[in-house]
Structure 1
Amino acid sequence: MSGVFEALRTQLHEAATVFAGGPDALEGILLGMVDDVDRAVREPMEIFPVCHHSPASAVAMARRLRDKQPKVIYLELCEDMAPLLTELRNCRLPVAVQAFASEVEGFPADWAPLSVVAPITEASAEYQAIAYALDTPEVELVLVDRSADHVFQWQRTETTPTGEQALHGDAVGVEIGDLRPRFAELEEHLLHHGKVRHWSEWWHQYVEHPLGDCDHDTYRQVMFLIGSLFRRLAPGDPHRVRVDEDRERHMWTRMREHLAATGTDPADCLYVCGAFHAASRVAEFGVHGTDGFEISPRSASTWQYGLIPSSHAAIEAQFGLAAGSVSIAATEWAKNLRRSKVKPFQLEGQSGKKKAKKPAVLAAPVGQVAAVDQLSGFLQRPPVLDRLDEAELLGWSVEIVRAARRNGYLASTADAIAVFETSIMLAGIRDRARPTPYDFQDAAITCIEKEVVPGRRDVRRLVEIMMGGDRIGQVGYDALPPLARDVHDRLAPLNLKLQQRGVQRALLDIASQPELEACSDLLWMLRHLMPQGAARPIMGERRLGERPIQESWDLALGTHQRSLIELGYEGVSIEQVLEQRLRRVAYGPQATTAQALEAVEDAIRYLHSARLAGELGTHALEVLSGERTVDGAPEVLSRVRRLLTYYRTNEPVLPPWIERFVRTGYAHYCTLLPTAFTEEDATVDQVAAMLGFLFSMESLALSLGCDRAQLELAVAQSHPEEPSKVALLWAAQVQLGTLTREQLRARCAALLGNPLALPSYPRYLSGFVHALEPAPGLVGFVVEAMSNAFAQLPDPLLLPWLPTLISTLRGRGAQMVPLLIREAGRLFPAKLSALDEWTPPWLTRHDPAPVQAVTTGTGSTLLAAYPATCDATAHLLGCTDAWKAPADGVTLLKQYPDTVQAMEALLAN
């Protein structure tokens, strides 16, 4: 046996000497590859190397299983996923086996939830092995790869749980049978000299086709060689190398344990693994390998297992394959079966297949024969030039033109002929006698698409659809977790095919069919928990304290089956999952008071749970006590108001938690009010919301034992400088009674009469608009102030302020605009003709507050008391020459009496 590949070693030694000028590292790599193949071939237990989703591997596996009929199959798949494989009978492939952990222990908290998936397609060697083992009596299937828990245990040295796995959706996909060079320069070299664009095309041209018709020994030796090449030329990433070798140690340790426990003859076993791991050099390799690898215990995380729908696109993303390559592989799988006459294995009852009355009769098993060197002949043999299948290529050309027409392209029979001829030409340029699907795709894009895409799909996508499209699997009802089955059972009164993909319309007339109210409750919970589009309300809404009458829904639960299945990993009922989610939001480390109150609302709207609402509300009180900012004040105010309205109309008494919340919130916002008035980070909207909470909850807070003096003291200690906050403070003083409306009106009149204050007057008005939140009784005054502003402000000041006013009203329009419109409708004339004779009621009912006349002596004293202000005012008015107060100040008073009076009024206040 040791001399099986001696001739090949000699040839590679001579080649290394010629190309490298003597034996060196190149010879070591080449001869090491032969040693890897020799070692794997001589292993007493047959190793079957595969490439995931390779039709050639699947055909070779089906052929070998019928010839060898092994009694035990060891499969490279997470060992804790074994119980799920029988559920594949209830699914339509492709699907993925998934392990899911929402509550993690022993891992960083930001990794949660943990999810591991392993996709399975019909055109894969793994599925052939699974179907054979599950449907053949007295055949045992043993999964030997690390558990899902160990997938993340071995990633602890990384910052994120990605490592050698790839993403499959939002989960980590285990690369079963991965076979792709990890050396970027090697892949680039192969693509360049192979005249292909991507790895999928290279594999299809130079490995998939040549191995399609090979015998078993040749297939194994070539796959061993490819795996050894990619392994020896892989970058020396210590972490990745360690994980690869630990996986191999784990698998061989598990296989030896099973052999020792069962006494099975290794000759009756078959070890199915990726070709990369088949060419292993660890000491634990083989049934006679060394022992000593210790498998660490699993963490305390709780893992859930199930099947989820997968798709060709998800698999391509996981393995870094070109778009459409898995669909092309499925087409090649069907062609290989027709050409080779191999009968594939398929689980009984799958895809609508009727269960067989008795198992299929297999051929007599063949023992393991002595290996011979098939590799030398394969490497020296020139590439087989497949005869052009004109009928197949012509059918593709006609079909793509038909699909292009349906999608808006101006394609004709001439384009079909052009695609046909261009495909042959491209294949010839790339040294191919027969066009591949990738050649055909390039030809179709060149001849049909040109530079215009009239519809939603380009020609590349049309070719992918024609070759099979992005086939999406489906998990059958019996294989669903209890939660998903419960959802389907509870929605049965809707009489919809919820397993079906696409959107379905559900009409709920709850008034005439009260039993549908339970369906409505469930649909609202699904809308809250599942992605957008899974359950979308068309008519109807769920508010606090309201019961539904009629609703209309668009449902796509079949399309979002994976999300529904993953909900089943979090609990046994949809109510339990929703309660857990609400607790997670409210008790999160970054949770705010507004988020906790939102969870309270959701607990009432969706779960009708007073217990949970009380618990979350108590926690919201604790969060509020710990907050030192007022960022969430507007949302807190709106949610507390809605909850108070709900409890007052639906409960005989207020729950204790909301009484404590109002009492604590009153004291909390009184404490923060003076700081919020002066801080630049606190917006006028947030300060208005604080005042709104204090004034709207005042009567309830006082009845619960709060002291109004606390609010009066907080307002007295507030000294804002920003005009909009100053207006808010004035509104608060009016609400408290420390400032009369006549005084407020006088201050506004003084601002309008002061040229220096006019530029900032619109900001005062914005503050008054926000003041309607805490003091809605000032709506009449706000209409009056805005009317005076529109009447007296010059256009250069008024016009730039209008966008700010509009945005302010739009942002809080639901509360403010109706009040303003109602008050304006009451004050202004109803007809345009009456506007000329109309006199504003605030001018007839209230005389303007008199401003005390400023005498020359008073003005001189004022100018002398404020020399800096006097100098600045003189400069603004154009008095640039040197002058002395009070003599020249008297002249200034005489020239600009209104300005000085306005200044005196401001300084007096």
Structure 2
Amino acid sequence: MSSPFDPLRAQLLGAAEALAGGPATLPEILTGMVDDVEHALREPLEIFPVCHHSPASALAMVRRLREKQPKVIYLELCEDLAPLLTELRNCRLPVALQAFAAELEGFPAESAPLSVIAPITESSAEYQAISYALETPGVELVLVDRSTDHVFQWQPGARPEHAGGAPEDDLHGDAVGVEIGDLRPRFAELEEHLLHHGRVRHWSEWWDQYVEQPLAHADHDTYRQVMVLIGSLFRRLAPHDSARWESDEDRERYMWTRIRGHLAATGADPADCLYVCGAFHAASRLPEVGSAPGTPSFEISPRTGTTWLYGLIPSSHSAIEAQFGLAPGSVSIAAATWQKQLSRTRLKPFELAGQKGGRNSKKRALPPPVAAKPTADELTGYLSGPPALDGLDEEELRGWCVDIVRLARRNGYLASTADAIAVFETSVLLAGMRGRVRPTPYDFADAAVTCIEKDVVPGRRDVRRLCEILLGGDRIGQVGYDALPPLARDVFDRLAPLGLNLEQRTIQRALLDLTARPELAACSQLLWMLRYLLPDHAVRPIMGSRRLGERHFQESWDLDLGRHQRSIIELGYEGVTLEQVLEQRLRRVAWGPAATAAVALKAVEDSLLFLASPRLTDELGARAVELLAAERTVDEAPVVLRRVRRLLGHYRSTASGLPAWCGRFVTEGYAHYCTLLPTAFVDDQTGVRQVGAMLGFLFSMESLALSLGCDRTQLELAVRQSHPETPAKIALLWAAHHQLGSLPLTGLRTRVDDLLGNPLVVPTVPQYVSGFVQALEPVPRLAPFVVEILSKAFGRLPDPVLLPWLPTLITTLRDQAAELVPVLTREAGRTFPATLDALDAWIPPWRARRAPESPSAVASPGAGPAAAFLAEHPTAGEAVAALLGCPGQWPAPAPAEPSSPATAAAGLLAAFPESATAVEALIGRD
């Protein structure tokens, strides 16, 4: 039986024979492409091949829908996204359909959360099909692509290869993109060949030049055959042994199985149906592809137990480009091309009633459908004829040149009329060098960069970015109020008293005077919760803070909720209210696999700040006690100490007092750190900061722990059993002995003096000093002694030891003990003189205390009221001597004087004049 494509097939075989030196598979590829086109056209159910976000595909779709007026449209889109399509009426395009899952069942837990998005733009064929189906009575729209659950089931790993291509600040984040018509060569050498011979830099420019522009005015048969031919070429040259190829074939089997199931269930006539899919899938020759009743079916695996949540999120041209690897500005250029072609052809597109940002024109009745024409060969004429070249549109190009110069001047460039003329001529020159009569937007952008952008970019935007703005800009969509989830609507309703339009995509300043308008306290509480849950730039406090024990009467906020709609919408997937989401997150943090006692204490503090839920706070506190008891390291001891101190201070200032979990945390921490203290002192992996924090917890919580039943002996034994070897930890241990009373300050001073006087130990003195600085955490009353040690170290250490140590001391204080620096600074201010003049006569207080008194300065022991008192009461003198710790050690009397208790007391007074003065004051004798 003859075929209309036989002449084309014969021509291609002749071309293959002429290229005898080519690959042996060339005839098979060339004729196979024609066979694929003929196979797709023979299918009773019309296949409409498209390319994602292609104006040519959208124009062809509008024409075909008006001609055929199908009763059923099968669309290549995740079948479980169908309920979202009606909500597109409440949005401003571009937006994206999203499926989201935070709690997984049947997928690896580390891959959570999972997200799938399908962006929709006005200039896309799928939006035209959706609008036609939803606005035309009696038309059914059926989504036939694999479900969101199967998208991840069929991926080779927990995450697909293209899942993480988008930047983090992109509107789509790291969601998996689902598109109709992923039409791009998967054979790298082929794409490189096309770009080289097409004289273009990237694939988007090649597609616009050689596919979009020629097909913009093509009839339906030509468009359909050319798109299937391109899909067949890319399909035959793609690697067949990759996981992506297997996934694509499974998708095709899945979609056709759903189509046959729907036809059998509804009895629809395939002649009244239209199947919209990517051109790559339109050229499929699998046995399971086709609408015939006897076609083999594909067994679809069941979904996992994962619960998927669905919604709409705002999208943008740049987000779509980043998601699918398109050239920057290509989607904006496509949108501009779409509008231009609509104006030229006077074609009326389909749109949803009430669409935000749409034309909102009156709905017109569709003309009678056009009868189908016999299949004819349109490829031969299209491939053999010369391309239809558009002439130079001087008015359009001149407008671009004038506008780019104006925009460049606004952004700091020294551009002039001469630059506009240069851009015009360079655009024409570049187009001619690349084989084009009419400059494309890409030629114009290259010319503008060449002529305007010199050596330095004066502002935030370069010239290429200005060209993107000029040619269409980065249009950003918006989800309407009615399409938002309940949580997002609740947020906007509760912030209504602020009197701001929170849907605007600009930063707005909110001023809250809580004294004059106490009803704004609820808004303040909500804003602080949003601050906790949303990215930093969405809600930012300018004046005011939220800490335990603080209360502000005036607050100032910068709100940018319009540009962070996606974040608010995704909060709606986690709960109905913001309080519910916050409670779930706090529980997830406290009971997560990475939870520690410090993390749980942070959750306790956050619950006090943002949620008035004593039950939740008690549960989180009990969880902190459990985590502390289970920990075997003390790496987070500084954080634990800081947070528990803050919480104890807060509870002590409230009328309710300490809750039960706080007492258990203190007693558990006291026993826990006492047990781990000897090991931490000798463990090289445990730093000085951590050991100091342990001692700080034990000493600062000691009185509370003892009142709750702890035993101080446990702490004393832990300190005695500690035998550190590093100098810094030895200094910490000395400070601990001093705090326990077993090492007086004079003993500490003696040991430090011995260190400074020993030449063999001098190089390690800086480490001892660092340990004493860290000792201020557990023993803050050592601040004067630490200042004394630092002064002695700076004065006595040799320069080869002192100078290398100073940077280390500074960085250590900054990184590990920043809160201790003000303590040392205040103590140094009290110790050292305030002026330079007083510095010469200044004597360090530690030297003044230890300097012996001159004998001439001691009063005569035989005179004065104290001597007379001792002479009258010798027994009292002996009692005072015993009280002072000197019994039986009276100084020997002079030979000429008789020995008596009074004489012994006089000698005692000579040795201890300060004690005599104190006794005189005690008994009231002057």
TM-score (norm 1): 0.91
After alignment, is 285-294 or 411-420 more displaced? 285-294
**Change in 2 beyond 3 A, CA 1:501/1:195:** same
**Change in 2 beyond 3 A, CA 1:84/1:836:** same
Whole-Å separation in 1 of the counterparts to 2:213 and 2:771: 76
**Structure 2 partner of 1:61:** 61
Amino acid at match of 1:176: I
Which structure 2 residues correspond to residues 352-363 of structure 1 after superposition, within 5 A? 359-363=363-367
SS of 2:349 mapped into structure 1: coil
Whole-Å separation in 2 of the counterparts to 1:238 and 1:317: 24
**2:337 matches 1:338:** no
**Structure 1 partner of 2:320:** 315
**Change in 2 beyond 3 A, CA 1:188/1:829:** closer
**Structure 2 partner of 1:630:** 634
Amino acid at match of 2:59: V
TM superposition shift of 1:189: 0.8
Maintained 8 Å contact 1:426/1:443: yes
**Change in 2 beyond 3 A, CA 1:353/1:779:** same
**Structure 2 partner of 1:222:** 226
Whole-Å separation in 2 of the counterparts to 1:789 and 1:164: 58
Maintained 8 Å contact 1:259/1:265: yes
Maintained 8 Å contact 1:165/1:173: no
**Structure 2 partner of 1:547:** 551
Amino acid at match of 2:554: Q
Amino acid at match of 2:467: V
For residues 766-808 of structure 1, the C-alpha deviation after alignment (integer angstroms, 9 at most, x for no partner) is 1111111001111222222222223333344333333333334
SS of 1:505 mapped into structure 2: strand
**Change in 2 beyond 3 A, CA 1:574/1:164:** closer
For residues 464-490 of structure 1, the C-alpha deviation after alignment (integer angstroms, 9 at most, x for no partner) is 110111111111111111111110001
**Structure 2 partner of 1:871:** none
TM superposition shift of 1:817: 3.2
Maintained 8 Å contact 1:348/1:354: no
Unaligned runs of 5+ in 2: 167-171, 853-926
Whole-Å separation in 2 of the counterparts to 1:459 and 1:22: 45
TM superposition shift of 1:356: 6.9
After alignment, is 512-521 or 448-457 more displaced? 448-457
TM superposition shift of 1:450: 3.2
**Structure 2 partner of 1:10:** 10
TM superposition shift of 1:823: 3.1
Whole-Å separation in 2 of the counterparts to 1:612 and 1:814: 33
**Structure 2 partner of 1:887:** none
**Structure 2 partner of 1:328:** 333
**Structure 2 partner of 1:149:** 149
TM superposition shift of 1:164: 8.8
Whole-Å separation in 2 of the counterparts to 1:815 and 1:429: 67
Amino acid at match of 1:843: R
TM superposition shift of 1:223: 0.4
**Structure 2 partner of 1:694:** 698
**Change in 2 beyond 3 A, CA 1:240/1:819:** closer
Equivalences, count = 847
TM superposition shift of 1:651: 4.3
SS of 1:469 mapped into structure 2: coil
Whole-Å separation in 1 of the counterparts to 2:244 and 2:795: 76
**Structure 1 partner of 2:159:** 160
Maintained 8 Å contact 2:152/2:159: no
**2:821 matches 1:817:** yes
Which structure 2 residues correspond to residues 499-518 of structure 1 after superposition, within 5 A? 499-518=503-522
**2:761 matches 1:762:** no
**Structure 2 partner of 1:460:** 464
Maintained 8 Å contact 2:107/2:158: no
Maintained 8 Å contact 1:762/1:801: yes
Whole-Å separation in 2 of the counterparts to 1:480 and 1:774: 53
TM superposition shift of 1:53: 0.5
Amino acid at match of 1:533: H
For residues 832-877 of structure 1, the C-alpha deviation after alignment (integer angstroms, 9 at most, x for no partner) is 33333332232233469xxxxxxxxxxxxxxxxxxxxxxxxxxxxx
TM superposition shift of 1:367: 3.2
Whole-Å separation in 1 of the counterparts to 2:388 and 2:662: 81
Which structure 2 residues correspond to residues 244-393 of structure 1 after superposition, within 5 A? 244-288=248-292, 290-351=295-356, 359-393=363-397
Maintained 8 Å contact 2:689/2:816: no
Whole-Å separation in 1 of the counterparts to 2:547 and 2:66: 63
**Change in 2 beyond 3 A, CA 1:194/1:23:** closer
**Change in 2 beyond 3 A, CA 1:46/1:425:** same
**2:731 matches 1:727:** yes
**Structure 1 partner of 2:77:** 77
TM superposition shift of 1:407: 1.4
Unaligned runs of 5+ in 1: 849-909
TM superposition shift of 1:614: 1.4
Amino acid at match of 2:568: L
**Structure 2 partner of 1:43:** 43
**Structure 2 partner of 1:826:** 830
Maintained 8 Å contact 2:89/2:352: yes
Whole-Å separation in 1 of the counterparts to 2:734 and 2:21: 94
Within the candidate set 209, 212, 222, 2:213 is matched to 209
Identity %: 72
For residues 620-668 of structure 1, the C-alpha deviation after alignment (integer angstroms, 9 at most, x for no partner) is 2222222222111100100010111111112433212121111111111
**Change in 2 beyond 3 A, CA 1:71/1:753:** same
**Structure 2 partner of 1:711:** 715
Whole-Å separation in 1 of the counterparts to 2:246 and 2:768: 68
Which structure 2 residues correspond to residues 434-833 of structure 1 after superposition, within 5 A? 434-811=438-815, 815-833=819-837
Whole-Å separation in 1 of the counterparts to 2:406 and 2:729: 68
Maintained 8 Å contact 1:37/1:224: yes
Amino acid at match of 2:566: R
TM-score (norm 2): 0.89
**Change in 2 beyond 3 A, CA 1:780/1:452:** closer
Maintained 8 Å contact 1:309/1:561: yes
SS of 1:404 mapped into structure 2: helix
Amino acid at match of 1:119: P
Whole-Å separation in 1 of the counterparts to 2:371 and 2:736: 95
For residues 575-615 of structure 1, the C-alpha deviation after alignment (integer angstroms, 9 at most, x for no partner) is 11111111222222122221111111111111122211211
Whole-Å separation in 2 of the counterparts to 1:239 and 1:836: 83
**2:416 matches 1:412:** yes
Amino acid at match of 2:706: L
CA-atom RMSD in angstroms: 1.9
**Change in 2 beyond 3 A, CA 1:780/1:426:** same
Whole-Å separation in 1 of the counterparts to 2:125 and 2:540: 40
**Change in 2 beyond 3 A, CA 1:430/1:23:** closer
Whole-Å separation in 1 of the counterparts to 2:498 and 2:161: 42
Whole-Å separation in 2 of the counterparts to 1:467 and 1:356: 25
For residues 355-400 of structure 1, the C-alpha deviation after alignment (integer angstroms, 9 at most, x for no partner) is 677x420110123332111111111111112111111111111111
TM superposition shift of 1:23: 9.6
Whole-Å separation in 2 of the counterparts to 1:408 and 1:59: 39
Whole-Å separation in 1 of the counterparts to 2:832 and 2:228: 91
After alignment, is 63-72 or 16-25 more displaced? 16-25
Amino acid at match of 1:150: H
Whole-Å separation in 1 of the counterparts to 2:790 and 2:448: 67
Maintained 8 Å contact 1:484/1:565: yes
**Structure 2 partner of 1:104:** 104
After alignment, is 308-317 or 644-653 more displaced? 644-653
Maintained 8 Å contact 2:162/2:176: no
Within the candidate set 420, 425, 440, 1:421 is matched to 425
Whole-Å separation in 2 of the counterparts to 1:814 and 1:202: 59
Amino acid at match of 2:52: H
Maintained 8 Å contact 2:774/2:817: no
For residues 35-78 of structure 1, the C-alpha deviation after alignment (integer angstroms, 9 at most, x for no partner) is 11001111111111100110000011111111111111111100
